[in-house]
Amino acid sequence: MKSSAKKPIEHHDIFGRLLQVGDPVAAPYWNTSLGIFFVIKITPKMLRLRKIGSTLEKTAYPVDVVKVDGPEVTLYCIKYSEKRRELS
């Protein structure tokens, strides 16, 4: 008897680090720009990303992103999340 439970989807960034919903990642957009995004959804082949401080959403392959962390990213998230709230 086969188990019908699906194996959870796992994606890894270019350095092999596990990506999860909510992780901040650096990813290219508009061909020449680099942005900081949050992973908002994991699909079988791609990631759904939302740019920090914006409503811009895009998809990207896991090998095209780098998971970022540290105090600089935390400050960036706070700074641009606050700017977006001021505009709303």
Sign of CA dihedral 75, 34, 81, 24: negative
- pLDDT of 80: 81
Domain assignment present for 1:
no
Structural domain boundaries, residue 27 = 11-87
- pLDDT of 1: 54
Instruction: Check if the beta carbon of residue 79 is closer than 8 Å to that of residue 87.
Output: no
Tens digit of pLDDT per residue, the chain (88 long)?
566 778 889 999 999 999 999 999 999 988 888 999 999 999 999 999 999 988 889 999 999 999 999 899 888 888 887 655 554 4
- pLDDT of 26: 95
Q: CA-CA distances (angstroms) from residue 50 to 2, 5, 47, 60?
A: 37, 29, 10, 11
Domain assignment present for 5:
no
Which letter does DSSP use for residue 80 in this model? H
Residue 66: CATH number of its domain: 2.30.30.1060
- pLDDT of 20: 95
- pLDDT of 39: 96
